[in-house]
Structure 1
Amino acid sequence: MSGIRGHLPKEQIEAYSELHPKARHLLFSYGTAGFRTLGVVLDSVLFRVGILAALRSKKLDGKTIGVMITASHNPEDDNGVKLVDPRGEMLEVAWEQHASTLANAPNEEFLDALENFIRTTRIDLSKPARVVYARDTRPTGESLVKALEDGLKAIGAEGRDAGITTTPILHYLVKAINTKGTKEEYGEDSEDGYFQKMSEAFRKLVSGRPRIQPLIIDCANGVGAPIAKKLSQYLGETLPFALYNADTATPGALNNNCGADYVKTTQRPPPSLIGVLQQGQRACSLDGDADRLMYYFIDERGYFTLLDGDKIATLVAAFIVDLVKLAGLAESIKVGVVQTAYANGSSTKYLSERLPVRCVPTGVKHLHHAAEQFNVGVYFEANGHGTVLFSPSTLEKLETHEPSTPAQSTALKHLNNLTQLINQTVGDALSDVLLVEVVLAHKAYSAIEWNSLYSDLPNRLVKVHVPNRNAFKTEDAERRLVTPYGLQAKIDDLCKRYDGGRSFVRPSGTEDVVRVYAEAVLRSQADELAYRVAGMVYDEAGGEAIRRPKEFM
């Protein structure tokens, strides 16, 4: 192996590789959510991801890399895996293609592909390799962990099993391990450290405020259930939780008629909460790996009202802007919000009148990167995945700034505590729950008052199954179609016929479907616009028939 420093244990890798053969007919693609498909076909992928994670660690001088085995909000039969870089952020984009290449290499060519990859990326094999890994509650998780561990053994990497936990905790652990003993130390590298850091900050932030009423949490019958239960023990009566859909043992229960994705897409509460939710009472849903969050309540007319990622972003961003002003730092700390095309038009208008707003393509990696460009960057996808990022210079400023009045001192303390409360590595549903509850406590808002900050435009999201999603190319942060040629002009003409009409079309990143989003001033018009645009897509691509919801038929 000329040009490669160190030794690659080829015989060892070959022996383990034979235990995890790749089926010839399967093709895998590493996207924003990592690899994601049916759990039963991922064995070879997990073995190779173990080797890839070890090589990523060697490339970065032995820094610890994270591996999370989860399919988030997907059905229980699905599973997936994604790698986490040393600061707790997503895998460097350039390595996504490397991941796909190694996963798809035929069995007899895997070693050659591996050697070629090591050579082209100039990995020094003499460096140490450290990997921390975890999984959610899916039945296939246990066997996939064993395949991953075989990959680590094959290349001689040091592995740390974080067990069954949430995706955000795994991200937290990666950053905590890699910053240990440095001036950027993020926290104790354990679940206990995660709970302590957040609960202590929360207690300080709500100290002196009226007692907070219990919060109903739908745990999606996923890993968020045991983690929320542990967190509640740290919080005590500061914030009582009432946990529902906390069954992680019944087959098929995960994300079934519950969870953040169910609530967002159906725009109704989980059936298990009907009759439980009282008028005006706050409730929220996590997704299967607890990195998405949806709030909601029943209004005085008995109608379900959703408080999604857009509503969370507006609540949080406005609060932080106020604190920055009160701390006397408005000139030196600029707060901005990052959204995608899926953000409700009313939220964009509300935010744009108060602070800078950027629109980026769908996908956490785009939002996270754009948020890093601000001193304080707030990003939430409409689906409830999001967080707040404080730049290193801002963190230093908050620590060293000398307040000149008691009011400035109080605001500064609140900002510093927020940096401890918020999981800045990734969207974290439980951290975001505490963040929302802090803002509501400070503003003395009920869910009703929070919702009244602005009124969402009615919207509808539908999907069309197509033979080839790659025929649909977009520009302008996915808000406009480039191809098929002429389709965008037809959509523009159609939108003009509806009051407040807006619609865009984008291909899915993971399956052969095209997603159609539409909004308008009236619910009936938003529905009609969505299905008429979907009809255009169907005619253009020869897609499968769209199932219309009953309320539109």
Structure 2
Amino acid sequence: MPPSSLRVVYAFAREMHPKTTDVFIEYGTAGFRTKASLLEHVVYRMGLLAVIRSRVKNGRTIGMMITASHNLEPDNGVKLIDPEGEMLEQSWEEIATRLANVSDNDLEATTAEVIKQVNADMGLKASVFIGMDTRYTSPRLAAAAVHGVMALKGTAKEFGIVTTPILHYCVRCRNDNTYGTPTEEGRKYGPYSLVGTPGERGYYEKIVGAFKNIRGKLPVHGSYNTTLYVDGANGVGGKKLNIIKKSLDGELDLVLYNLGGNGGKLNLNCGADFVKVSQTPPVGVEHAPFQRVASLDGDGDRLVYYYLDNNNKMHLLDGDKIATLLASYVTELLKACEATDLKLGLVQTAYANGASTKYITEDLKVPVSCVKTGVKHLHHAAQSYDIGVYFEANGHGTVLYSDKAKTTIRRIAQEGEPEQRKAAQLLLNFIDMTNETVGDAISDLFLVETVLCARGQNVKDWMEAYTDLPCRQLKVTVQDRNAISTADAERRCTAPEGLQSRIDELVATYKSGRSFVRPSGTEDVVRVYAEADTQENADKLAAEVSQAVFDLAGGVGDRPLA
């Protein structure tokens, strides 16, 4: 593409999406995320980058998702999705940040520099899929994304309002037609059909079809009941479940709350992040004692469960509980298949409760890896196993199956002894039900319900597998969150000087004490995590560590807690 043809890049920016702020915006853990009013020029420029990325990948489709996930409604964001449905390659994050922050006058030249740097063949076709969440600012930002794609002569396909995992799924399917069809509903057989191969099915057909198939093999028994309350966070995930529930034929009775009506605000006092961090039930949900409740986040990529006991006390089943449930069930099926050559491992972050790590290693006998916060780090580490289970404690995670694992399990399903074939068929349905591209609240919900049904367990049975250590998460506003540096998968603080030694001193005063701090990848704060033997002690330790961060890392305001 000759330099003269890049002039439209500047023209679009100047006339329609000018840079109106000097605020530096960085591509973080989940892309760009900040106040929506600061993002229009950023999203336009990410449209440019998506086209360049598509051409570097020989014309394969790249995704752009407009969302701020669990953040409150005034925020928004954008993240790029690579061809296999995975997060943007990490080396491109610096390029994205550079392109987002140059002046309009320098945009044309910087775009040319990026094209040269990555050796993009601008003569190739380029394809970009664009999705958005339910925020009122999302349509305007999606339009900016389309203009960015147009400016470099790419082809944009808009999916409208979708969950983040649905867009990841569609990008993967567009580039790998054996994985499925790049639509929500599918195309060849009608909605929710169980006919045809997985590669011929859209998202609902594949995920929901596999769930219905496996439930047909698992009679409801024991203390499991088919009623599930769901908190939709007033976001897109609840809306999609409202579509799906009509096709479940009584296999699962979804009772949906917080679907965005009656003035409910996105993620405000509801949703997975609110429930996990505040450890309190969301507003807008009716509760019966010991009834399972699942909470999604605003864009449908996080899931946590909880229930209230007879004393109205909340009991949380977060990403750690989901990971251990799924890993233990897959381990059972592998044992029944006698697939002894397949290695299963579980990946966590520093946020994983210490009790869960002990349970996984000592009771389940499953190897555990600990990595930095962020799905991209967990996803990569999970790929080192034949079957990799990864979840953040916040409820974002999935299961990955290698080609070796899938081939082995299919062979056993066809050639094994009767009991081996039965277990292998269940495992094949379990694989089909899994969105391997990214953490997916809807897919994970069906996986959890499958395991509980198979075991005849209620939510209390699930909770009793092990007892979490009490924990607390807090936020501290500082002048520069990047003044905090970490090592050892973010479990140790290397800057500012003296902070880690102070944390060590505080932790030593509490039984079962553990604490770490890290700069947020999605908000302009420092996050503090603490756990101890009692909730009171976990709260006190978190408050004391927060004060240390405030004192040593340049706290803003007159108190440490955000």
Normalising to structure 1: TM-score of the pair? Answer: 0.94
Shift of 1:225: 2.2
1:453-485: CA deviations, max 9, x gaps? 000100111122112222221111111111222
Select 1:463's aligned residue among 436, 455, 475. Answer: 475
Paired residue secondary structure (2:77): strand
1:159 is matched with 156
Task: Say whether 1:284 aligns with 2:294.
Answer: yes
Equivalents in 2 of 1:12, 1:486: separation in Å? 51
- Counterpart contact for 1:131–1:157, Cα < 8 Å: yes
Q: CA deviation at 1:247?
A: 1.5
- Verify the 8 A CA contact 1:387 1:432 in the aligned structure 2: yes
Quote the offset at 1:230 in angstroms.
1.2
Asked if residue 315 in structure 1 is aligned to residue 308 in structure 2, the reply is no
2:130 equivalent to 1:168:
no
- Farther-moved stretch of structure 1 (432-441 vs 514-523): 514-523
Aligned equivalent of 2:77: 80
Equivalent in 186, 196, 205 of residue 196 of structure 1? 205
Deviations 1:385-418 (A, max 9, x none): 0000101221222222355321111110011111
* Structural mapping, 1:111-190, within 5 Å: 111-180=108-177, 185-190=178-183
Q: Which residue of 2 aligns with 1:102?
A: 99
Please give the alpha-carbon distance, in whole angstroms, between the structure 2 residues aligned to 1:547 and 1:504.
Answer: 16
Alignment of 1:200-211 (within 5 A): 200-207=209-216, 208-210=218-220
Determine helix, strand or coil for the equivalent of 1:186. Answer: coil
1:372 maps to 383
Question: Aligned to 1:191, what secondary structure does the other structure show?
Answer: coil
Counterpart in the other structure of 2:344: 335
Q: What's the CA shift for 1:121?
A: 0.9
Corresponding residue of 2:371: 360
| Kept after mapping to 1: 8 A contact 2:43/2:78 | yes
State the Cα deviation string for residues 313-359 of structure 1 (Å, max 9, x = none): 111111111111110102x1111000001100000000012200011
SS of corresponding position for 1:305: strand
What displacement does 1:362 show? 0.6
Once the two structures are superposed, residues 361-406 of structure 1 have per-residue CA deviations (whole angstroms, 9 ceiling, x without a partner) of: 1111111100111111101101010000101221222222355321
Equivalent residue runs for 1:128-527 within 5 Å: 128-180=125-177, 185-192=178-185, 193-207=202-216, 208-210=218-220, 212-247=225-260, 250=263, 253-273=265-285, 276-330=286-340, 332-353=341-362, 354-401=365-412, 403-527=415-539
Task: Write the distance in 1 (CA, Å) between the matches of 2:140 and 2:21.
Answer: 21
| Separation in 1, partners of 2:128, 2:169 | 14
Give the Cα–Cα distance (whole angstroms) in 2 for the partners of residues 469 and 283 of structure 1. Answer: 35
Q: Contact 1:24–1:106 at 8 Å: present in 2 too?
A: no
1:74-124 alpha-carbon deviations (Å, 9 max, x no partner): 111111001100100000111111111111111111110011111111111
Match of 2:189 in 1: none
Residues 458/230 of structure 1: CA separation in 2 closer, same or farther (3 Å cut):
same
Distance 1:216 1:24 in 2: 43
**Alignment correspondent of 1:12:** 8
Report the CA distance between 1:546 and its aligned residue.
4.3
Q: Which amino acid aligns with 1:143?
A: R
Q: Hey, what's the Cα distance between the residues in 1 that align with 2:266 and 2:21?
A: 30
Change (3 A) 1:374 1:122: same
> Of the candidates 61, 66, 70, which is equivalent to residue 69 of structure 1?
66
CA contact (8 A) 2:10 2:105 kept: no
Write the distance in 1 (CA, Å) between the matches of 2:165 and 2:483: 35
- What displacement does 1:450 show? 0.1
Question: Which AA in structure 2 matches 1:293?
Answer: L
User: What is the rounded CA distance, in whole Å, between the counterparts of 1:517 and 1:14 in structure 2?
Assistant: 44
- After superposition, the C-alpha distances for 1:264-304 in whole angstroms (9 at most, x for unaligned) are 1111111212xx21111111110000100010011243311
Match of 1:47 in 2: 44
CA separation of 1:392/1:244 partners in 2, compared to 1, >3 Å: closer, same or farther? same
Aligned-pair CA distance for 1:21: 1.0
Contact 1:467-1:512 within 8 A present in 2 as well:
no
Contact kept, 8 Å, 1:6 with 1:126, in 2: the verdict is no
Distance in 1, matches of 2:236 and 2:333, equals 34
Contact 2:7 2:108 in 1 (8 A): no
C-alpha spacing 1:14/1:470, structure 2 compared with 1 (3 Å): closer
Q: Deviations over 1:223-264 (max 9, x none)?
A: 1122111111222311111110012584x7111111111111
CA contact (8 A) 2:476 2:561 kept: no
Asked if structure 2 preserves the Cα contact closer than 8 Å seen for 1:223 and 1:248, the reply is no
TM-fit CA distance, 1:17 = 2.1
Pick closer, same or farther for the CA change 1:278–1:217 going to 2, 3 Å: same
Counterpart of 1:9 in 2: which secondary structure?
helix
* Cα distance in structure 2, aligned partners of 1:494 and 1:277: 38
Partner residue, 2:89: 92
1:310 is aligned with what amino acid? D
1:8, 1:125 within 8 Å by CA — same for their partners in 2? no
Percent identity among equivalent residues? 47
2:61 touches 2:174 (CA, 8 Å); kept in 1?
A: yes
| Pair 456,151 (structure 1): closer, same or farther in 2 beyond 3 Å | same
Cα distance in structure 1, aligned partners of 2:55 and 2:320:
39
Partner Cα distance (1:249, 1:72) in 2: 21
Q: Is the 8 A contact 2:66 2:138 kept in 1?
A: yes
Q: Secondary structure at the match of 2:346?
A: strand
Determine the C-alpha separation between the residues in 2 that align with 1:470 and 1:71.
21
Q: Verify the 8 A CA contact 1:328 1:403 in the aligned structure 2.
A: no
CA displacement at 1:547 relative to structure 2: 6.8
- Indicate the larger mover: 289-298 or 37-46: 37-46
Q: Where does structure 1 lack aligned partners over 5 or more consecutive residues?
A: none
Asked if the contact 1:7–1:125 (Cα under 8 Å) also holds between the matched residues in 2, the reply is no
Q: Distance in 2 between matches of 1:86 and 1:348?
A: 33
Q: Is the 8 A contact 2:547 2:560 kept in 1?
A: no
Number of residues paired by the alignment?
A: 537
Measure how far apart 1:548 and its partner are.
Answer: 6.8
SS in 2 for 1:162: strand
Distance 2:167 2:4 in 1: 28
SS of 1:281's partner is coil
CA contact (8 A) 1:133 1:163 kept: yes
Distance 1:545 1:510, change over 3 A: farther
5 Å-filtered alignment, 1:538-553, equals: 538-543=550-555, 544-546=557-559
Contact 1:6–1:125 (Cα < 8 Å) also in 2: no
Secondary structure of 1:367's aligned partner: helix
**Do the aligned partners of 1:463 and 1:546 also contact (CA within 8 Å) in 2?**
no
- Indicate how the Cα distance of structure 1 residues 499 and 226 shifts in structure 2: closer, same or farther if over 3 A, else same: same
Measured in 1, the distance between the counterparts of 2:561 and 2:312 equals 25
Report the Cα distance in structure 2 between the residues aligned to 1:248 and 1:158, rounded to whole angstroms.
Answer: 35
